Amino acid sequence: MKLFRKIRLKLVETNRVKKYLLYATGEIILVVIGILLALQINNWNESNKQQKEIENALMEIKNDLLLDQQVLNEALRIKQEEYDMQQTVIDILGQKKEMVKGFDELLGHLMLKRNVEFTKNGFELLKDMGIGKIEDDAFRIKLTSYYDLSLPRIYAEIDDDTMEFQTIWLPYVREHFTDWLFGMYGTPKDFEAFVNDEYILITLKVNLGNAEGTIEAMEKALLESSELVAMIDEKLTDQ
């Protein structure tokens, strides 16, 4: 800046107006270039900061998805086991088969409701940042579909299971069973009457259809979570 001032003073003192104007124009251009460079550097720093925040959010989402997979695998295992047990009871009631060993244990697994909890911390963080910052349309759509459609569908299916458990199965157990323990065993007051009860047979069949919906929703979410983890790994590797 000292050098620039000296040049300006010398040009003014020697009355070189044309050269002074050329110099002033050049100085303005240099100042503009300096401002543009400063803005570019600031934008670059801001872009790097934003990219780092997105990467951190994606890493948290990945960890959440891995936790979801553990929850889904365990929930599916239990749900499928209880589905098979209920199908066995339906077969016995429908065909008036002879009682099988462990029938009381099967009755302890009918129409049960089991809650699940999923982790959404990373996705909520990304939403706060602005999910539109994810430029990959396919990834963004799959991510929002998982959290806004697939997980709510599972909760809705479980709500149906819970409603049937609380409003249909438990009242029936209280009236027709002498003993019952969640997921353990059940003892009807009259086995013969229970086997010939058409109401409970159709109830179990309807509930089995609901259970199929729950299993299907969980399997879909499990597949989607695995695909999302793979996509996130690819994105983080490319950075």
Going along the chain, which residue ranges are E strands? Answer: 177-181, 185-188
Reply yes or no on whether the pLDDT at 17 is more than 60.
no
Looking at the chain, the whole-number percentage of residues with pLDDT higher than 70 is 79
Tokens of 41: 């550097």
Whole-Å CA distances, 163 to 87, 130, 158: 20, 37, 8
Mean pLDDT of the chain: 85
Q: What is the pLDDT of residues 204-232, one digit of tens each?
A: 999 999 999 999 999 999 999 999 999 99
The pLDDT, as a whole number, for residue 158 is: 93
How many other β-carbons are positioned within 10 Å of the β-carbon of residue 103? 19
- Closest C-alpha to 89, from 208, 174, 2: 208
Angle at 137 between CA 136 and CA 140, to 5 degrees: 85
- Closest C-alpha to 54, from 120, 119, 132, 145: 132
User: pTM to 2 decimals?
Assistant: 0.78
Least reliable range by pLDDT among 12-21, 97-106, 125-134, 137-146: 12-21
One-letter amino acid of 206: V
Reply yes or no on whether the pLDDT at 101 is more than 80.
no
Exposure of 20 in the CB half-sphere (CA atoms within 13 A): 12
Residue 236: which region, alpha, beta or left (left: phi > 0; alpha: psi -120 to 50)? alpha
How many other β-carbons are positioned within 10 Å of the β-carbon of residue 208? 16
Q: What is the pLDDT of residues 156-204, one digit of tens each?
A: 999 999 999 999 999 999 999 999 999 999 999 998 899 889 999 999 9
Reply yes or no on whether the pLDDT at 43 is more than 80.
no
3-state helix vs strand vs coil in the chain, percent to 5? 80, 5, 15
The rounded distance, in Å, linking the Cα atoms of 205 and 66 is 34
The rounded distance, in Å, linking the Cα atoms of 208 and 21 is 89
